[in-house]
Each structure stands twice: as structure tokens, then as C-alpha cells.
Structure 1
Amino acid sequence: MRTLAWQHNWKTIIGKLRVVGDAHDEQGLIDALSGGEGACVLGFVNAHAMNLVAGNADYYDSLSSADVLLRDGSGMAILLRRLGLAPGLNMNGTDFIPKLLAAFKGRRVAFWGTQEPFLANAVRHCQAHYRVNVVSSHPGFSPIDTYVALARETQPELVVLGMGMPKQEAVAARLAASGVPCLIVCGGAILDFLGGKVSRAPQWVRRLGCEWVFRLLSEPRRLFMRYVVGNPLFLLRTLICRERGAMT
């Protein structure tokens, strides 16, 4: 049976996922990412990312060029299980990126994304809590060349991008291609969380895998298309992939 373009894209992304099995494996990944040399791009793959991969060729090219991709969210766990694959730990950026920041204590970090005053709040919080040296902060609405120039000027060891999909993945790909030797993290809303713009769901909601519901209720206008329209579309594609065996 003919494989559609989006199925090919999904298969590529699933094949690149770095499944993290347990806490020991997670710590090994943190050590590798914080101790590496040269440019390295870390991305997170959730249901929204897979929907974008299905219809946005530029985003697919950027995401698939990342060095490390992690499974984020209950939707991706459903997809992997239906394909007979182990989902591993839920490696969402909101939990994992702070652990990376802790590993970069005393080192040069750049925060590019969100807007003021939340960006400045995130800088203050991370300098106080994680003891990182924030050498550059810039809102997330500038042309890509702006961030390449900032990377060359400030030489960060870690760049956290909080611009949202698909822009942050395009910026990350360009930064990596520019040759600046740093870890580049596609962080989504992480700077909004760190800067106090949005709040995390209660722990019991997170344990149920329903943080997306909390976020939808908190920002219904912005997230309606992503969750109310996007989640059923993702699940439909998941069923198509499983029935047609397109991922095998």
C-alpha cells in the first residue's frame, strides 16, 4: 500500500526518538548533553509536533536535523505503544530543561524567546536558582539572523529557545549550521513557565497525563486549535499508521 508523505515523515521522526528508560538513563543523557563538544540540537516531540511534521515540510526538515529528539506527552506514548514500541519516560521539556540548567551551573547560558517582563523574570529566576551565567537574553520575535549574530557575539555554552514551534526549530537548525559550539534546546513555553507567565498543572493532573487539559483551560483561545482540533487529528493519524503498518 502506498505510503503518504506524512507517514514517511512520521516514520523518520519516530526512528530518531531517543527513548529514555529510567532515571539512570536520564542522568546519563544529562551528562552527555552537558559535557559534549560542538553544536548539538535537542528537540522535544509531542502530538502538536507530529501534526506539524505531517503538513509543514520546512518544520520537518528542521526537526529531523536535530541531534537528540525526546518523547513528550501522553499522545506520543499512545502512538509508540500502538506501534509496539516502548515509550520510556515522559521527557517533557518543562521538567527536563531545569535539570539541564542545573547541570550548567556557573556556565554561559543564553535565553532567547518569550517577551518582557517574563524573559527578565526567567533570567533572574535561573541565575538565582540554578546559578547559571546568563550572557544573553532576547525576545523571541526577531529574524533568525539576529540569533546567529548573538551566538557568535556572546559564545554561550547552552542556548534555551522559547519561541514555540515551528520557529524555534528553524532557529536551532541555523545556529547548529553556523558552527557555534553549544547545546541548543528547543524549549517551547519553558521561558514562560520560568518567567511566571503561565503556571504548571497540579502534580496529580500531571501524573494522569492531563496537563494539556489544564493548559487548554488556562489559555483556551491560543491553544484551541492545538488541542481541540489537533489532538483528534493526531489520534486519527495514529490509527491509520497502525492499521496500515506504515511505521514498520
Structure 2
Amino acid sequence: MSALARERVPFLGVTVTPLRVEQLIPVIGDFLNDGQVHTIAGHNLHSVTLCHSDEAFFDFYQNSDVVLMDGAPVVYLWGSRNEHQGRRVEYRLGSTDWIPELFRLPQIQRVLVVGSTPEANLLGVARLQEILPDATVQGLHGSDWDQGLERQFLNLAHDFKPQLVLLGLGMPLQEHVLLRNKEALPPATYCTVGGAIDQLGGVQRLAPRWLGRMGFEWAWRLMLHPSRVASRVFVEPWILGCILARKKIQRFRKQRALKKSRS
């Protein structure tokens, strides 16, 4: 299948694939049918910050087949350029928005769920088995991830031959696992899903969808997990702003130096 169009997000210096749930599910179906390695990721401010500070992480996003808009600021900034053209995405598309819709793909036969604690992984696998009653769903926890678990993941992927892999090891570990092993990965569609396994299994409470559609899901997460989320909410945007400002100054200086060299 032909590559999906990627579009630039103003100010952030990254590109996304602006899809809604009803558009993404057929795309996943196409990936499953062609039997090749595909990756699906999602951009929020945390991933954007990592892209601008980690070259390998940036390459992962550049080479992913689909990069969803997984953060409200990303959606708003993309919309600032496109809404006047009648193009609109109403809210962020996170993993927990599209995973429950996988039942629409009858060709799914084997799914591998990797990440979270052993208990939460079992719960996530059980929930996904309910969503896909005709498929076989296997799991591998991600607690204290090390080289041994990484080898176990690769061996399981080769033996089980999943069509779809939900990799929820947190960012940036999940992306680096795929990068480190990109030549060894068997054909499948690999989706980096962050904390979605905990949410799928009911270990973490999902924010009400109306709150997410208003762009305030971060407030829900901050209330439930203040120690984990506070830095991302209150500190990381400033870090990203400084990184982007520094890069803009560097580009300006290069352009000015180039003009002087030509004059």
C-alpha cells in the first residue's frame, strides 16, 4: 500500500498522520493484510520533547507508518493551520480510543500484549480477549525490563507470530526496544501504547471521554498520579519551548551567516 500522508504541526517541528478512529481501523486492516513490519506511534508534548532531544527517537517517529495526534496541544496546533480549510479533528486519538474498535477487523487472529506489571498485563490480555473473542491473545509483562525480557519478547514474537503487537513499556523505552531490534522483528504491526495496558485492564481509571475531548485529560491524570504527571504538565512544556527557541535562533544565525557569505 502507498505511504500515508504526513502533515507538519505548526511550531512543534514534527509531522503527524491526522486520522480519526474510523479512518485508522481500516489502515490497521491494510497493514495486517500485507504481512509486513509496520509501526504506529502517537505524538504528545512528551514525545515531541524527546524527538528534539534524542536523535534516535526522532528517527523512530520519522520512519513510523502512522503517527497519531495523541495530545490535545498537538491537535490544536495542527487544527490552527487546517480548520480554515474545513479539515478538523475534534479530539486527541489515544490508544484507548482505537483499541476497543479492533473488533471491526475479523482478520485479527493473533495479538501480543507486552508491558505493565504481571497482574495488569493479565488483566489487559483478558480485556482484549473480550474485544477479540475469535483471536488468540498472549501477554508478556514489562516489569524491570532488561535484556532477558527483551530476548523473551523477540523469541515469543517469532514463535507466536502475532499480527498485532501492543507495546506498552512507556516512553522512550518502548520506542528504543523497536529501534534496537528493527532488523530482528518478525512481520507484524507494532503499536507503541504507553500506559494503555493498565487502562485497558482497569488498573488505571480512564478519564471521561468528554473531558478528553475538551483537552483536559491531563488534569485527570494529574489528579490521580500527581508525582508521575506533574513534571510533564508544569515543567516539560517550558523545556520544549526552550529547545524550540534555541533551534529557531540557530536557524536564524545560519541563514544570516549564509546571506553574509553570498554578499
TM-score class normalised by the smaller sequence: 0.7 to 0.9
Supply the distance in 1 between the matched residues of 2:53 and 2:247 (Cα, whole angstroms).
16
Q: 1:1-248 residue pairs with structure 2 within 5 A?
A: 11=13, 13-14=14-15, 17-20=16-19, 24-82=22-80, 88=89, 90-100=92-102, 103=105, 107-131=109-133, 132-140=135-143, 141-143=145-147, 144-234=150-240
Number of residue pairs aligned between Structure 1 and Structure 2: 235
More divergent stretch after superposition (188-197 vs 54-63): 54-63
Q: What's the % identity of the aligned pairs?
A: 24
Find the counterpart in structure 2 of residue 3 from structure 1.
none
User: In 1, are the aligned partners of 2:44 and 2:73 still within 8 Å (CA)?
Assistant: yes
User: In 2, are the aligned partners of 1:136 and 1:150 still within 8 Å (CA)?
Assistant: no
Instruction: Give 1:99 shift.
Output: 2.0
Distance 1:104 1:184, change over 3 A: farther
Partner SS state of residue 235, structure 2: helix
Instruction: Give 1:97 shift.
Output: 2.5
Supply the distance in 1 between the matched residues of 2:223 and 2:240 (Cα, whole angstroms).
20
Partner SS state of residue 178, structure 1: coil
Partner SS state of residue 140, structure 2: strand
Name structure 2 gaps, 5 residues minimum. Answer: 1-11, 253-263
Supply the distance in 2 between the matched residues of 1:97 and 1:240 (Cα, whole angstroms).
38
Find the counterpart in structure 2 of residue 5 from structure 1.
none
Supply the distance in 1 between the matched residues of 2:119 and 2:169 (Cα, whole angstroms).
15
Instruction: Give 1:172 shift.
Output: 2.4
- Deviation per CA, 1:174-194: give whole Å up to 9, x if none: 454224011111011110101
Supply the distance in 2 between the matched residues of 1:62 and 1:106 (Cα, whole angstroms).
25
TM-score (norm 2): 0.76
Distance 1:99 1:23, change over 3 A: closer
Partner SS state of residue 192, structure 1: helix
Supply the distance in 2 between the matched residues of 1:55 and 1:49 (Cα, whole angstroms).
10
User: In 2, are the aligned partners of 1:113 and 1:161 still within 8 Å (CA)?
Assistant: yes
State which structure, 1 or 2, has the greater radius of gyration over its C-alpha atoms.
Answer: 2
More relative contact order in 1 or in 2 (CA 8 Å, sep 6+)? 1
Distance 1:239 1:65, change over 3 A: same
Instruction: Give 1:23 shift.
Output: 5.8
Supply the distance in 2 between the matched residues of 1:27 and 1:245 (Cα, whole angstroms).
39
Indicate the RMSD between aligned Cα atoms, in angstroms.
Answer: 3.2
User: In 2, are the aligned partners of 1:19 and 1:88 still within 8 Å (CA)?
Assistant: yes
Partner SS state of residue 43, structure 1: strand
Please tell me the residue identity of whatever aligns with 1:164.
G
Distance 1:239 1:199, change over 3 A: farther
TM-score (norm 1): 0.80
Please tell me the residue identity of whatever aligns with 1:126.
L
User: In 2, are the aligned partners of 1:40 and 1:66 still within 8 Å (CA)?
Assistant: yes
User: In 2, are the aligned partners of 1:172 and 1:185 still within 8 Å (CA)?
Assistant: no
Name structure 1 gaps, 5 residues minimum. Answer: 1-9
User: In 1, are the aligned partners of 2:25 and 2:101 still within 8 Å (CA)?
Assistant: no
Partner SS state of residue 102, structure 2: helix
Partner SS state of residue 40, structure 2: strand
Instruction: Give 1:113 shift.
Output: 0.3
Partner SS state of residue 118, structure 2: coil
Please tell me the residue identity of whatever aligns with 1:32.
D
Distance 1:168 1:218, change over 3 A: same
